[in-house]
Amino acid sequence: MARTGISYEDVRAAAETLLGRGLNPTIQRVRELLGTGSNTTISEHLKSWQQQLAQAPKTVLPPTVPETVITALDAFWNIAVQHAEAAFEEQRQIAAQAVTAAEQSRDSALADLQKAQAAANDFRLQLEASQASARALADRLLVEQERRAAAETAIESAEQRARAAAETVAQIRAETEARTAQLETLLQQTREDLQRQQAETRQRLEIERQRAEANEVRLTAILDQSRAEWVAERHAFASERNDWKNREITWLERLEQLDRENVSAREALAVAGERQRALTVGLQQTRVDLQESEARHIEALRASENLRGELTAALENRQRLNQQPDRDQRSRSGRKAAPKSKE
């Protein structure tokens, strides 16, 4: 069916124009000359024009034209018509092939479009799944970062407590040294007082000796008890320390195992992080307990040293008291022997 705007007269005029130019009026040339029209419409109009052209009466030539020229013109006309029909048929076949190829291309393009849409849908689903996985992974990573921040805060707090304990130990040590110096000063003052009070000391020698013996017995018992307690405390501390070390080694091994599991199974990161946090807290508590045990051990050693110092001072005091009568006796003997030498 002819399209509106492309008439038979337009196609006929274009074909005659092409013939006037010495060109074969093909479908493509007519369409290029008109600038519009479908190949089917142009083909139908060209076919009608060629049929009318073939059925048109021959032109009556003047009688003066030779018969041979008329015969040649008829032969030329017949050849031109045959050529035009052959060219028209060829163009019609080309147009049909082009239409078939266009339809095949359209069908192939539609199939490719459907495949592309299906692939796009699959890719969209995969993208949504990837985005969901990425969001879940980001949430898990945020939770893990918060847990690690909490663990670091706990570790920092434990370190601060350890520093505070160390400062306390240093303060106690300084106070102990000051007290020792004060006791030494007091001991020196006592010695001076003893020297100034030798007369009174001679009279109270027996009482002080008995008191010294009682103190010696008491201090010896206390020292023995302190030594026994110190030995027991030392053994208990060593045993407890070994236990804590074994527990620390066990926890460290469990931490290493958790680290390996964390590397090989990232999907269990949250659970492993929680267990690691618990083990780290237990390890810190173990260290705190160990430090407390060491502090108790140091305090026991300090008490033992104080008792030992007191016992040593008592023994020295007793020895001085025992030696004082001998010196007094020698002094008196010397004073008695001096006049005889003068005589």
Tell me the pLDDT tens digit for each residue of 131-154.
Answer: 888 788 788 888 888 887 887 887
Sites in the chain below the pLDDT cut of 70: 1-5, 56-88, 91-92, 95, 99, 102, 169, 201, 262, 265, 268-269, 272, 325-326, 332, 334-343
Is this model's pTM higher than 0.75 or not? Answer: no
Q: How far apart are CA 33 and CA 23, in angstroms?
A: 12
Give the pLDDT score at 74.
58
Query: Cβ atoms within 10 A of the Cβ of 328, count?
Result: 14
Q: From its phi and psi, is residue 25 left (phi > 0), alpha (psi between -120 and 50) or beta?
A: beta
Give the pLDDT score at 10.
92
The pair of structure tokens assigned to 86 is 């052959």
The torsion angle over the Cα atoms of residues 149, 155, 159 and 160, rounded to 10 degrees, is 50
Q: How far apart are CA 94 and CA 40, in angstroms?
A: 11
Give the pLDDT score at 341.
44
Sequence-ordered list of residues with C-beta below 8 angstroms from that of 226, at least 6 positions apart, any chain: 300, 303, 304, 307
Sequence-ordered list of residues with C-beta below 8 angstroms from that of 186, at least 6 positions apart, any chain: none
Residue type at 146 in one-letter notation: E
Q: Where are the alpha helices (DSSP H) in the chain?
A: 8-20, 27-34, 39-55, 67-196, 198-203, 205-264, 269-342
Sequence-ordered list of residues with C-beta below 8 angstroms from that of 55, at least 6 positions apart, any chain: none
Give the pLDDT score at 60.
45
Give the pLDDT score at 9.
92
